[in-house]
Structure formats: structure tokens, C-alpha cells
Structure 1
């Protein structure tokens, strides 16, 4: 397999390590680096854990480039696994397969290893129990901007620091009198953290270190607010479009404020309609909720592709230059190659910085030869402006890990 120089460099720098983390920026080809490292380690068995939407991609990758026995480990029971096999399973199912705890002589690879950031979840606790001889972690956003969420990955890399000590050394915490608990306000000793990660086989790499990608252009679009949004922000209750929205908890209030700034805001829908009609280029639209998807499909009269929890169909994107691709963050912010398009519209924002950063790299990646445009449709005076500020803050935290050390 012919690799790019930066991919060869990542492999060369970790040649002596049997536990590695390739934290390569989105679009730098972590799939190829990870699979080549797996081939170098040459264990009888291999286990790849990934998101459900990526199973077919991994299967095709191994079948196209290697001579492994590729087994999608889904519902079936496997009596005997042949040598030189790759088992592929998704994060939601892996902890329900106790037989994997008996697997020996294998390499474990986690695609989007940030999926084990919650050490108390069933999937993380199960994965940490696996008896892997070697470990390969892949992620473009290993922390989602929150360094405290690295702890589980550190353990897989062999750095057996306890959580309390890790927080003490690298996380700034302040006491919150209102909620009677400590809250995280920042991070410290980042250079020391980077040095320890490097010692344990972690490679950080940003796209701009490797390729001169086209310019990125951010377009903030201020959408007029609605009376309904203002009323709900004041009273925490409103009936709209036959729906009764009651913000009786902080969580429900935030949810309905986001929806009132999105699919319930006809001003935003009208602007987006005009934007879509103004170009014959491919457009990618990110959204959150099913109601948003229904509203978007109803107003678009161009070929539509869809990626969400119920459907993955990119045929219109592939075939039509004027197509519109609707992507729900959870289902499609990670892993898709959409560089045929150079325009992304954020109809609404996610509240997860990892998904936000990943979403931008769907078009700004290797193979893109046009300037990239990102349209942020933000309802005036709404919660969306603060959400964008927080998303940018989390990016700043993450970038500190990727920055080159001063020579």
C-alpha cells in the first residue's frame, strides 16, 4: 500500500510501540495508518471496534487492501475464528459479547477512540477488560476539548495513572457553591501532558502541517428572531404548530429554545430556501432533530441525500452537482468523505464540540481543491450565539495538544 509521507512518518515514529494512538486531524488518513500498524504487529487475530455507520467502510477497506478473513461480528455465534482474521463490531454491541473477553493473541483497534471517554459506561468498562496484546487508537478529536476525557484512552496506552491524580496534575477545578461540586474551568501543564502521551505512543498531527488545503471562509448569518422564541424565553411555555412546549427543567428549556431557534423559526427556513436556490453547487446541511429534517425535506426541491439514524443514502450527492445532503450530527459528523462539496450550512448547532469539529472536516480534507464555505445560521438574541462561543472554546483546548513543541 502506498502511503503519504506524513503517514509513513507516524508509523516510523511508533515502530517500537505496541500500544499507539494516532490522533491525526480529520482527513489525514487514520484508517490507512491504523491498518498498516495492525499489519506490522502481525497478531493471529484482530478486533476493530467502530461506530455502526463505519462497519461497511472498514470491511471494504480490509477486503480491498489486505488478505485478512474479515468477519462482521454482529448477531451470529462464531465457534472458531480462523487465524489472520479481523473481527469488526460496533461500540453499542461489543459489551454484549462476553465471548470476546476470552480472546487472546490479538490487536485491538478503536476507531474514534473518543467513544470511550466515559469510563463509567458499559462499553468503556468492557473494553478496558479486554486482554489485548496490542492497542491502536484512532481519533481526530481525542478529547472533544475536554482533557479529563482522555483518562480511559491513557489506560489502554499503558499509562496507569489514577483518575484523581490525573485531574490534579492537568485539570483546573473550582468549587461551585450553587451545585455543591467542583467544576472544570481550564487545563494546565499541557506540555507535560503532551510529553507523557508521546512517550506512550501518541502521535498528534494537524492538517496544515501536512497539506496546503484551500482557504476556509466562515459566514455568520443573523436570522431575525420570532415572537414565539421571545415568549418562551420569558414564560417557559408556549403552544406552537399544535405542539405544547414546556420548559419545566433546565434541560427541557434548552432543548425547546434550540428548536424554536431552528425548525420553528420560519425566517431561518426562508433564508435557507433562498440560499439553496441561489446555487447549483452541492450543499451539505447539518441538523439535530427529526422535526428539522421533516421541515427541510418539505421545502427542498432538489435531489436529496440523507444520513441519519434511520437512513444512509448518498446516491444524490454522488450523482448530482446540485444535490442537497442532510446530515444529522450523531450519524454523519464523523468519517464521511464529502469533498465533492465545498459548502456546509449549519441549520442548527450541535452542543458537542467533537461533532462540530469533525463536521467541518467532511469537506475540508485531502482532495478538496476549492475554497470551503461554512454558513452558520444563528437566530438573533438566541441561545445559538452562546453555543457557538462554547464550541470555539473547546476547539482552543483541543488545539493545544496538537501544537508543535518549540525547538
Structure 2
């Protein structure tokens, strides 16, 4: 695919290229990976300033997102990438592959630096989700700090680096600039910018910023920081649509393909059948999202891939409110089991709590997200856990956040199981063809492709 960056993406790419230390505070869905990879390509093959790059990211982002972005864009086709996740032998093979870009999950940073035996070979580091290094006592922070003097260029990517307060910034920028801007010691940072807040005698449990501390801190880091929300020269899209493709895993894929091929699936001693194309569409949509109802109304787990991806997106929001659209009752049950703090928006009190910023994670069914429901005050991020064929419900649900009075750029994520009916639904929504005929035709096309009905 041809890469045509938005104005803000071009600005961010140029910023990385011209700043050996760069903190990019980008909202979810604004293309952090493609920005970083484009800058890496330019620095490596146009300016010859970089030889090898290490990317540190959350596990599933490292395993799935970064290689997918590299393969997606034409201009990155010649960039070699090795993924150092999984068993130790596989990690070692990737680390020794001599790739332009090596991607490793953050959980293995300490292993890489202190136990792998692999000589450090990367002159540029990109930290995807810089905020995951906000704890100065964590092993991953201490380990990466040891290797920091060997790095000539470093980039930190995150959405909100100070979701839990300004104290979070110290460790992140200590890692980026080795203490140049906020000091080398957390005790000095606290003494300069904070006063004790909650305490018991001499034991301090929390700190509160001194008057003017916030402005001073931001001023000190401004020369190496770019934010998509605060830089006046950036032209942000009014709404950004982002699709997160998710592998269902071997077990989930086998079950999905069995249902697709035979129109029947045996689950825990009971058979689930699809009588026609419309019924098959519903079964496949359920399976793409991770669970399936049997004939008695009981649901069976197929995979947790979408829950894992949802967890990554919520973590990436760093405390920023997230609204999740679900479809099936088993979606709701599984989401609430994984995220007990989530709250279903049903009553006026629920809506008021969301709009007051009291709910970090809210759930909504598209059928209840009709005309006139105002949710724009509570957040600007919507995640579709299960997609809908209904264009009206899709547009109306999106319009709960993307409407007059919204103060933030809106980001709408679609969780789509790879090589599944989810892609058919997205295509139908894109061309605004969501009639029952389109639904059945899409399923028929999939069935024909797989050899069903021969």
C-alpha cells in the first residue's frame, strides 16, 4: 500500500529525524508505528545516521502490530525486521539475525541486557508505550538504563505519559535524556517540583505538585517532545478510523474453518450447526469475537484474542476514558470478567457518570446508542469489540462521541479477527452496503472461496 502521510504524521516523522531524543505523545490510532518506521527508513537509508534499531513494545504489539505495519506499506518493503518474542531459542535467533529492526517485548528487556549473552548492537531504540517505563524501581527500567549510554538515538511513543500524575514523567525522561532535563535522581525531582501530600509522620505516601511546577516541567521537556493535542501547527483529522487485525490462534482458527467448511462444529459434547448463509454469518461473527452459542443458549469459548487486543488498547490509553461497543451477551460477560472496573451504560446515571469523567472504561450496545444520546463529554475513544452489519447502528454509535461539542480528536478502533468475516463486514460498512443481501453475498463468497457447497 502506498503511504500518504497526513500533515501531522509528516510533522512527527520530521521531528524524529531531526531530534536524536524524541518523545512523541500521540493519541491512539494516529499511526505511531508507521511514523516511527518511516523515520527509521529515512535515517537508515537516506541519511545513513542509523545502522540498527531495537523496538521495545508490549508483547502482542511486538509480535503482531510492528511486523504488520512493516509489511503494509510499500516504502518499507526492503526494511528487514526480526521479532524476538517467544521461546529463548527463537529470541536468540532473531537477535542474531542482523536485521535492520529488531522488535522485542518489554518483558524480555532485562533478559536481553543482562542474561542473553548477545552483544549490544543497536544505535537507535524505539520504546512503544514509553509510559510502561514510568516505574523507576522496575527491573525493565533499570536494565534499559544500563544500555542507554550505548544508544545514539532514542524515541519514546505514548499517548498520555502522565496519566497518574507528573511524577510518572521522571523515569520516562530519565531514560530518554539520561537526566538532562528533569534530573538524574527521583529524590531531587520530587524536592524541586513537589510537596508531600498524604503522609504518616515521616513516611510520605504521595506528593502534590508545587504551584507552577506543571508549566516548568513541560517547559523543560518541550524541546524534545511533540504532542498531537497541544502543538498548534498540527492538522489533526476530525475522526480517525483504525483497524486492529488479530490472529485468532491455532485453536480458534481450526474451529472457525471447521464451521465455515462443514456448517457444523462440535463443542464440549454438543453440536452447533448453521442452517443457512444468514445463520452462518452470525456464527462466524461470534467466533471471530471469541465465543459461540450452542443450540441451548450456552456459550463456549473459542479464543481470547480480542480480549487481549482490547487490553492492549486500554493500556495504551493510559487512563484516558474508553468506550467499548459490544454485540453479544457473551461479549459483555467476557469483557466484564477481564475488566471488572468496566461499567455498562444503561441508565441516565450511567451516562452522567461517563460524561463527568468518572468512568475509565464503559460498555455500550449499539442498539442502545440511538439518536440524541450525548456521550462526547466523557471521552473520545471508541473500540468496536464485535462489528455490526447495520450501517445505521454503526454510524449512530460512532456519533455518540463524534458530534458537536467534542473537544478531542475522535479515534474509532475496529477489532477484526484476521482472515474472518470481520473483513467482510468492514468492507460492507465502507461501501455503505449493509443490506441483508450484502450480508448473505459476503458469506456466500467466503463459502465459495473455501470450497463449501461443492
Q: Shared fold (TM-score greater than 0.5)? A: yes
Alignment of 1:192-203 (within 5 A): 192-199=216-223, 201-203=224-226
In the alignment, which residue of structure 2 is the partner of 1:253? none
TM-score (norm 2): 0.50
The Cα shift of 1:139 comes to: 0.5
Corresponding residue SS for 2:217: helix
In the alignment, which residue of structure 1 is the partner of 2:37? 35
In the alignment, which residue of structure 2 is the partner of 1:45? 52
In the alignment, which residue of structure 1 is the partner of 2:135? 118
Alignment of 1:94-133 (within 5 A): 94-97=109-112, 98-99=115-116, 102-130=119-147, 131-133=150-152
Change over 3 Å in CA distance of 1:79–1:117 after alignment to 2: closer
In the alignment, which residue of structure 1 is the partner of 2:372? none
Q: Which moved more, 1:54-63 or 1:82-91?
A: 82-91
1:57 pairs, out of 44, 65, 70, with: 65
2:197 pairs, out of 158, 166, 174, with: 174
Unaligned runs of 5+ in 2: 45-49, 241-281, 318-322, 327-331, 344-356, 364-378, 385-393, 403-454
Q: Distance in 2 between matches of 1:79 and 1:3?
A: 30
The Cα shift of 1:185 comes to: 3.2
The Cα shift of 1:211 comes to: 2.4
Change over 3 Å in CA distance of 1:2–1:83 after alignment to 2: farther
In the alignment, which residue of structure 2 is the partner of 1:184? 207
Change over 3 Å in CA distance of 1:118–1:303 after alignment to 2: same
In the alignment, which residue of structure 1 is the partner of 2:13? 11
Q: Distance in 1 between matches of 2:24 and 2:60?
A: 21
In the alignment, which residue of structure 2 is the partner of 1:363? 382
Change over 3 Å in CA distance of 1:206–1:152 after alignment to 2: same
Are 2:157 and 1:165 equivalent residues in the alignment?
no
8 A contact 1:117–1:149 mirrored in 2: yes
Q: Distance in 2 between matches of 1:304 and 1:211?
A: 40
Alignment of 1:174-253 (within 5 A): 174=197, 176-177=199-200, 180-186=203-209, 188-199=212-223, 201-206=224-229, 210-213=236-239
1:311 pairs, out of 285, 304, 310, with: 304
Alignment of 1:245-324 (within 5 A): 311-313=304-306
Corresponding residue SS for 2:226: strand
1:212-251 per-residue CA deviation (whole Å, 9 max, x = no partner) reads 239xxxxxxxxxxxxxxxxxxxxxxxxxxxxxxxxxxxxx
Are 2:140 and 1:140 equivalent residues in the alignment?
no
The Cα shift of 1:186 comes to: 4.2
Q: Distance in 1 between matches of 2:51 and 2:167?
A: 34
Task: Report which structure shows greater RCO (CA 8 Å, sep ≥6).
Answer: 1
The Cα shift of 1:311 comes to: 2.6
Are 2:336 and 1:343 equivalent residues in the alignment?
no
The Cα shift of 1:68 comes to: 2.2
The Cα shift of 1:150 comes to: 1.6
Unaligned runs of 5+ in 1: 215-279, 284-292, 314-325, 375-407
8 A contact 1:333–1:362 mirrored in 2: no
Q: Which moved more, 1:108-117 or 1:175-184?
A: 175-184
2:168 pairs, out of 149, 152, 160, with: 149
Q: Distance in 1 between matches of 2:361 and 2:176?
A: 24
The Cα shift of 1:155 comes to: 1.9
- Matched pairs, number: 273
8 A contact 1:342–1:372 mirrored in 2: no
8 A contact 2:82–2:97 mirrored in 1: no
The Cα shift of 1:184 comes to: 1.8
Change over 3 Å in CA distance of 1:196–1:37 after alignment to 2: farther
Change over 3 Å in CA distance of 1:31–1:357 after alignment to 2: farther
TM-score (norm 1): 0.55
In the alignment, which residue of structure 1 is the partner of 2:264? none
